[in-house]
Amino acid sequence: MAGKARPAVRSENRLPPGQHLTPGFPVLDLGIRPEIPLTEWRLQVGGMVDNPKTFTWEEFNAIAPFEDVSDFHCVTTWSKFDVKWRGVAFFMLAEIVKPKPEAKHVLFESYDGYTTNVRIEDVMDDDVLIATHYDDKPLTREHGGPARVIIPKLYAWKGAKFIRSIEFSADDKLGFWEVRGYSNTADPWTEDRFS
């Protein structure tokens, strides 16, 4: 049975400042949408962990499935409410690899060369996952399939598409947009878009 995060908060104050709702699901990326055959897909999880692991698609999908319905906020000022995701909870991956106490940051790297960094406390929340499904269907390439990171409480650029590796680190290593002046913390509720 799939694990479930708490349901999306229903409130009149769900839309962060500076955002507008969209009924669609716009696609933003670096213009590269790698085609990754599932037989060749791997997810490397390592760095400052006790049990580094490289997952095949089959091994990854053998982990207990996890579902979440959350709101999605893009730094370009659009938001989408009640997005339904399914995949593997980040905290489950952490239980497998066992990050060391000195690991304070996480760097995600994608098959298209994209990178982004987050604080470890941002990804250990109960609604963070590596999604393989959107709205009960396999995640399409345009939305980052076969697997992408979802961190609902941060702007969406922190959720890397086409995920290839996750590195736990004591040091904060800036990612693609962060070295170009985007915020390191990316909190939609404080409009934390740029540093």
What does the pLDDT average to over 16-28? Answer: 87
Q: Model confidence at 24, in pLDDT bands (50, 70, 90)?
A: confident
pLDDT of residue 32: 76
Buried b or exposed e, range 127-152, using 16+ CB within 10 angstroms: bbbbbbbbeeeebeeeebbbbbbbbb
What does the pLDDT average to over 124-144? Answer: 95
Q: Model confidence at 145, in pLDDT bands (50, 70, 90)?
A: very high
What does the pLDDT average to over 49-59? Answer: 98
CATH number of 38-169: 3.90.420.10
pLDDT of residue 81: 96
Residue type, 192: D
pLDDT of residue 50: 98
pLDDT for residue 5 is more than 70: no
pLDDT of residue 4: 52
Looking up tokens 């497998």 gives: 96
Q: Where are the domains of the chain?
A: 38-169
pLDDT for residue 105 is more than 90: yes
Buried b or exposed e, range 166-182, using 16+ CB within 10 angstroms: bbbbeeeeebbbbeeeb
Predicted confidence (pLDDT) per residue in 82-100, tens digit:
999 999 999 999 999 999 9
- Percent of the chain past pLDDT 70, that is, above it, reads 92
pLDDT for residue 10 is more than 90: no
The mean-pLDDT minimum among 4-8, 47-51, 135-139 falls in 4-8
What does the pLDDT average to over 9-35? Answer: 80
pLDDT of residue 176: 92
Task: Name 8's Cβ contacts closer than 8 Å, sequence gap at least 6.
Answer: 14, 69, 70, 71, 81, 82
89-to-68, 92, 163 alpha-carbon distances in Å: 9, 5, 14
Q: How much is the CA Rg of the chain, to the nearest whole Å?
A: 16
40 vs 27: CA distance, rounded Å: 25
